[in-house]
Amino acid sequence: MVNFTIEQVREIMDNQNNIRNMSVIAHVDHGKSTLTDSLIARAGIIAQEKAGDLRYTDTRPDEAERGITIKSTGVSLYYEYDFTDTGKMDRFLINLIDSPGHVDFSSEVTAALRVTDGALVVVDYVEGVCVQTETVLRQSLQELIRPVLMINKVDRALFELKHGSETIYQNFLRVIENANVIISTYQNEDVMGDLQVYPDSGTVAFGSALHGWGFTLTTFAKMYAAKFKQDKKKLIKKLWGDNFFDPKTKKWSDSTEDEDVHRAFCAFILEPLIKLANNVSTGKKEVYQPLLQKLGVELKGEELELQGKYLMRKVMQKWINASEALLEMIILHLPSPRASQKYRTGYLYQGPLDDECAKAMMACDPEGPVMMFVSKMVPTSDSGRFYAFGRLFSGKVRQGEKVRIMGPNYKPGKQADLAIKTIQRVV
């Protein structure tokens, strides 16, 4: 059941600080559309059980048949989230665009990026950063878009490749370093600062889109903060890199010669996760049931009858649901329109930056002139008529209002590819 109404979405549109416009980008078959299902399920548009299998944003028959995204698809999602970590729920609107990963459809990616401010970059744990990953990441950085990273298909490391915790950590490190090489090469540091992503900064998540689970370091720092009687933010820094906790001495160090002492990320995150996943999937109730009680994971009704990978999937979704990790990254680390339009207007707008239009765009001013970028024309049931799908940077779109439409070949001062039309309808 959908968790929000049209009225709630319309109301939050007036609060630009709580809006996130973002696209999901990746190499083909790295799990963009599957991962998007977790966010769509969290908003109540699809059932949690279908998340990972449905690929909701692949709406065309040929996309379902071929298993790849061909056309970008937009969806607006409403969430209530504890933004300040105080127990008080704030309301957020995430306008998400799922874009294609195949090189043949790169124009769709360009159009999607133009109307978004942040990008969720999805990378396959096994394949790592691929050619198209670099292409779409470079495109997003050139568009002045802030990235966050999701390392997907970690379930393959656990069940298919049987990787140990240190091997998984080193592979994570390799993917992050490869992504950061691309980011540091193409980022505009003068305008946006350093955009490189790091787990201890909250801009990297790990998980399995297919099974609907995922986590950031914050996920586990919250669990361990009370146990260690340590500040959550300090603990996040300890959970990544060369940090070791010796259970005998109860002390932290940045190196160890004791083979039984593993780095904190392995000891406190990966090893418990591997233990739980393996015991649940193999049906060892005497091991996993006490663990579930400690973690506060309760199975009810038909869930108690589940076995194997279906049980493991349900347990992991209840314990560390992917949507929580994704929401944390999107809300805390991607910019709002009010923040992003200050630095993106100079890139998007070709006129003088001190004129009325530019100033309205920079201020995200609803009372300014109508400035809209149309990224997609959607055909209607009436022959020859289209819906213009895009992003409003300033002003308000009203039915009956006349607007100047400047096509892709328009040049300032010339009449070519310029039309003045009346807005027929707003939907």
User: pLDDT tens, 57-103?
Assistant: 555 565 455 555 556 777 888 888 887 777 788 899 999 988 765 45
Q: Hey, what amino acid is at 372?
A: M
Residue 280 has pLDDT above 80, yes or no: yes
C-alpha 360/C-alpha 363 separation (Å) is: 5
Average pLDDT, the chain: 87
**Half-sphere exposure at residue 262, Cβ-oriented, CA atoms within 13 angstroms:** 14
Residue 357 has pLDDT above 70, yes or no: yes
At 62 the pLDDT is 52
Tell me, what DSSP letter sits at residue 140? H
Residue 31 has pLDDT above 70, yes or no: yes
Q: Is 406 helix (H, G, I), strand (E, B) or coil?
A: strand
At 157 the pLDDT is 94
Return the closest-CA partner of residue 147 out of 106, 204, 199. 204
- Return the sign of the alpha-carbon dihedral for residues 285, 286, 288, 292: positive
C-alpha 100/C-alpha 36 separation (Å) is: 13
Residue 36 has pLDDT above 90, yes or no: no
Q: What is the CATH number of domain 351-422?
A: 2.40.30.10
C-alpha 51/C-alpha 40 separation (Å) is: 8
More confident residue, 151 or 46: 151
b/e code 386-419 from CB counts within 10 Å (16+ = b): eeebbbbbbbeeeeeeebeeeeeebeeeeeeeee
Going from the C-alpha of 31 to that of each of 5, 139, 403, the distances in angstroms are 29, 19, 39
Taking residues 400-411, report their average pLDDT: 90
The fold of 222-315 is: Yeast translation eEF2 (G' domain) (3.90.1430)
pLDDT in tens, 382-401: 877 888 889 999 999 999 99
Give the range among 26-35, 168-177, 188-197, 243-252 with minimum mean pLDDT.
Answer: 26-35
Identify the top-confidence range among 3-12, 195-204, 284-293, 317-326: 195-204
At 68 the pLDDT is 54
Report domain extents, the chain: 6-212+322-333, 222-315, 351-422
At 156 the pLDDT is 93
The fold of 6-212+322-333 is: Rossmann fold (3.40.50)
Tell me, what DSSP letter sits at residue 14? T
Residue 204 has pLDDT above 60, yes or no: yes
Residue 403 has pLDDT above 70, yes or no: yes
At 47 the pLDDT is 58
Give the range among 362-366, 370-374, 406-410 with minimum mean pLDDT.
Answer: 406-410
At 371 the pLDDT is 96
Q: Cβ atoms within 10 A of the Cβ of 82, count?
A: 13
Percent of the chain topping pLDDT 70: 91
At 395 the pLDDT is 95
Q: Hey, what amino acid is at 414?
A: K
b/e code 152-181 from CB counts within 10 Å (16+ = b): bbbbbbbbeeebebeebbebbeebbebbbe
Residue 53 has pLDDT above 70, yes or no: no
At 384 the pLDDT is 77
At 108 the pLDDT is 73
At 69 the pLDDT is 54
Residue 427 has pLDDT above 90, yes or no: no
pLDDT in tens, 135-177: 999 999 999 999 999 999 999 999 899 999 999 999 999 999 9
Q: What is the pTM of this model?
A: 0.91
At 320 the pLDDT is 94
- Return the sign of the alpha-carbon dihedral for residues 41, 210, 200, 190: negative
At 211 the pLDDT is 92
Return the closest-CA partner of residue 101 out of 158, 150, 23, 28. 28
The DSSP bridge partners found for residue 95 are: 21, 76
